[in-house]
Amino acid sequence: CRVRVAVRVAMPGAVRTLCLAALLGALRAGGTELTLELPDSAQRCFHQELESDVKFTLDYQVISGGHYDVDCYVEDPNGKTIYQETKKQYDSFSHHTEVKGVYTFCFSNEFSTFSHKVVYFDFQVGDEPPILPDMNNRVTALTQLESACVTIHEMLKAVIDSQTHYRLREAQDRSRAEELNGRVSYWSVGETLILFVVSIGQVMLLKSFFTEKRPSSGGAGT
């Protein structure tokens, strides 16, 4: 699947520059995007101080390791669990904060004793700001230039989401391919060792068939 964006808008250079700056500023919404390593029987927690009545969104996905699952939970400043899932491959959680303070979200691999996991998460805080000033309070229709900016902005958001999705899919498929390659290599080495041992055993067995057995010397004659 390919995403193609082709937008042509005739506009002066200065206006085009302002429009591009507005689009880039809107795309830089506050948030954190991170890929972390989660060893077996381990847990990783992150803390973020938030104001009250603020929306935040947590998206996560297991890229590699085991059955591609992880435990995740989110706690508010009072220690109340507002989200909890076990052995999930991926999920998304949105919440409006009710109290001000430090919110904690953790990823746990404590249920696994030997599988090392790699987890990707995206933590976004707040709503996306409007790309144009006073856009939400306007009573008049958007001009052709403003409509073009909104269209380009929506297309760029779709491109970013698609790139993130396919980047995660590519990393997950690469991890599976490397794991499969390792298993095939170990199996090939094992088969080679077994074949070598069987060959030596057959040679020794055939050699024993054609080896003349000398009678043991008897007692001294009288």
Only one residue has tokens 């390659």, namely 181
In this predicted structure, the answer to whether residue 11 has a pLDDT above a threshold of 60 is no
Whole-angstrom Cα distance, residue 152 to residue 119?
31
pLDDT: which is higher, 33 or 187? 187
Token digits for 149?
């900016």
- The whole-angstrom separation of Cα 96 and Cα 117 is 29
Please report the pLDDT score of residue 213 as a whole number. Answer: 63
Find which of 115-129, 163-177, 188-202 is predicted with most confidence, using mean pLDDT. Answer: 188-202
pLDDT at 14 over 50: no
Mean pLDDT, range 41-47, rounded to an integer: 92
Instruction: State the chain's mean pLDDT as an integer.
Output: 78
The predicted pLDDT at position 217 comes to 58
Lowest average pLDDT, out of 109-113, 137-141, 194-198, goes to 137-141
Q: For the chain, how many helices (H) and strands (E)?
A: 2, 8
Q: Are 85 and 59 in contact (CB under 8 A)?
A: no
Mean pLDDT over residues 52-69, rounded? 89
Centre a 10 Å sphere on the Cβ of residue 208 and count the other Cβ atoms it contains: 9
The CATH superfamily of 33-127 is: GOLD domain (2.60.120.680)
Mean pLDDT over 83-93 rounds to 91
**What CA–CA distance (Å, rounded) separates 31 from 167?**
19
Closest-CA residue to 153 (of 33, 13, 54, 29): 29
Amino acid identity of residue 128, one-letter, is E
Q: What is the mean pLDDT of residues 77-85?
A: 93
What strand order describes the sheet that includes 90-96?
A: 31-38, 117-125, 55-64, 90-96
Q: Which of 123, 127, 126, 128 is nearest to 104 (CA)?
A: 123
Q: Hey, what are 73's tokens?
A: 């939970």
14-23, 24-33, 194-203, 212-221: least confidently modelled range? 14-23
Residues 180, 181, 184, 190: is their CA dihedral positive or negative?
negative
Q: pLDDT band at residue 167, thresholds of 50, 70 and 90?
A: confident
Cα–Cα distance between 12 and 7 in angstroms, integer?
15
pLDDT band at 65 (very low <50, low <70, confident <90, very high): confident
Range picked from 15-29, 36-50, 201-215 for highest mean pLDDT: 36-50
Identify the top-confidence range among 30-34, 115-119, 125-129: 115-119
CA-to-CA distance for 171 and 6, rounded, in angstroms?
28
